[in-house]
Structure 1
């Protein structure tokens, strides 16, 4: 992409330094920037927990509180639409971003205590039916077997 052009996929200009707004200057900072972007990408897709689990970083959730966004359709005068009217307009693709009011809400009872997450959460057990088909397969060590899935 030529300098000064805009990314076709995200519509982001590369900037004078060609770094697309990324301020990271070290490997550690770059990894954190990537993790922050993954957090944004996964936040509404239900993949954040699984991404942190795969990366063995569930401790990042320790003590955090979950929040959600509530979007309520509103009329031109600012009053809330009935759910029936909002559904009808949504089904006709008649609602735009400005047709909503947004609130950030805390999910009740959502404080995360990672110290309550056992090490076994990082690896699923191997299904017994799989082990039955091949006696050379060993169960993961955190599930009663001798195989160390971390290969340590």
Structure 2
């Protein structure tokens, strides 16, 4: 059973400063069904500009899902997650922490800040692609996502 039925692509915001991980994510989602429109920001400040639709991001579409790295320049992922969750309008947007960190402290803090999931990146490109396919299968095909903010 499909979670959301719509014709337009799903909008995913990837907050990632590693160009290699950005490329792997783009490749993993290239053939995805349903269609995914992947937006990329490279640091925590840029992610917040996108989500709050400020500056060059004025009028962008809110994402259906955010993939958030923790180790970011300018503002780390935990700071970004806190600011998103402090904004009532953005609270419903699902945020998946996607990071290389496996420390208990990062996992605990991410869930305390109400991340919807904590996923650890694999260095193996095939395993990474499989993880991204699982994300698409669950979050975009099976789960019922909240409506994006107006």
Bucket of the pairwise TM-score, normalised by the shorter protein: under 0.3
Q: Structure 2 length normalisation: TM-score?
A: 0.22
* Greater strand share, structure number: 2
* Greater helix share, structure number: 2
Q: Structure 1 length normalisation: TM-score?
A: 0.22
User: Could you say which structure has the larger radius of gyration?
Assistant: 1
> Per chain length, whose mean CA-contact separation is higher, i.e. which structure has more relative contact order (CA < 8 Å, sep 6+)?
2
